[in-house]
């Protein structure tokens, strides 16, 4: 696991956007796994700016969802399908044919989960998966004590996660109780995992995930098992890291050819 400490969220977004651009230049039809929420917005804004300027041609890139609410219709403004189309697909100049995600409105949710897992494999696997981290250490919607070998499945949200997401709805009552999420085992199959965390509210979760033991209690700690996992954090989110100075030194000495 590589830990990169950046000054702020904008710097983190630019760094990760350039890593994605480098990947797309090398593999134009790369499958990019995206996360939702406010944290990754600087990534998408920086990447869209690169597309508009001609610095990268993303016209053949493919986008896939990490998770989806259960029960919200596809056209609901807070369904993750709508959010990804609005914040990622459209700004990159892509069409819906470039996008894939689980069906949160399916009558048979379990079948929809299995179908999405299968679709990711048939698409050749995710080349780069973006991740955020919850205040309780969750990734995707794999809440604490999720199996580290789990596949795409339905999960019940904790009260904390529903409260954290209530800012996107008119009230807490409108936040769904269930989601479809890529499981930790599914996430770990991506070729490169990139987690972005910003703000002091994520400092404890980051420290437990990066420097603590690999444990289902902190789902993000599973990134320690991945051969190519990158954790990008701003100074506030890095505040609880005991090895922060070491992480700064190793990144400063990193050969440029290695990339992110």
Helical H segments across 29-155, by residue range: 41-53, 80-84, 109-122
Q: Which of 14, 87, 103, 136 is catalytic?
A: 136
Q: Which of 143, 192, 208, 234 is catalytic?
A: 143
Residues 136, 159, 69, 148, CA torsion sign: positive
Strand order in the sheet with 67-69: 67-69, 178-181, 153-156
Measure the CA–CA gap between 144 and 218, rounded to whole angstroms. 6
Q: Which of 14, 138, 208, 234 is catalytic?
A: 138
136 labelled catalytic: yes
245 labelled catalytic: no
76 labelled catalytic: no
103 labelled catalytic: no
Contacts of 103 (CB under 8 A, 6+ apart): 68, 74, 112, 115, 116, 180
CA Rg value for the chain: 17
Q: Which of 67, 103, 117, 164 is catalytic?
A: 67
Question: Would you name the residues annotated as active-site residues?
Answer: 67, 136, 138, 143
């Amino acid at each position: 696991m590589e830990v990169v400490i950046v000054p702020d969220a904008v710097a983190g977004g630019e760094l990760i956007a350039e890593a994605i651009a480098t990947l797309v230049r090398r593999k134009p039809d790369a499958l990019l796994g995206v996360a939702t929420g406010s944290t990754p917005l600087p990534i998408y804004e920086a990447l869209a700016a690169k597309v508009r300027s001609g610095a990268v041609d993303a016209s053949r890139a493919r986008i896939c969802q990490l998770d989806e609410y259960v029960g919200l219709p596809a056209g609901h403004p807070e369904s993750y399908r709508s959010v990804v189309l609005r914040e990622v697909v459209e700004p990159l100049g892509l069409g819906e044919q470039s996008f894939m995600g689980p069906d949160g409105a399916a009558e048979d949710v379990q079948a929809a989960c299995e179908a999405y897992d299968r679709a990711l494999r048939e698409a050749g696997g995710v080349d780069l998966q973006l991740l955020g981290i919850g205040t309780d250490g969750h990734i995707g919607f794999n809440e604490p004590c999720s199996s580290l070998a789990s596949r795409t499945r339905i999960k019940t949200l904790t009260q904390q996660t529903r409260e954290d997401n209530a800012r996107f709805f008119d009230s807490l009552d409108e936040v769904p109780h269930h989601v479809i999420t890529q499981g930790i085992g599914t996430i770990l199959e991506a070729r490169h995992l990139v987690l972005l965390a910003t703000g002091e509210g994520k400092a404890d979760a980051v420290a437990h995930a990066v420097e603590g033991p690999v444990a289902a209690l902190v789902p993000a700690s599973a990134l320690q098992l991945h051969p190519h996992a990158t954790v990008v954090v701003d100074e506030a989110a890095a505040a609880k890291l005991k090895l922060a100075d070491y992480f700064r030194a190793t990144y400063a000495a990193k050969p440029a050819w290695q990339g992110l």
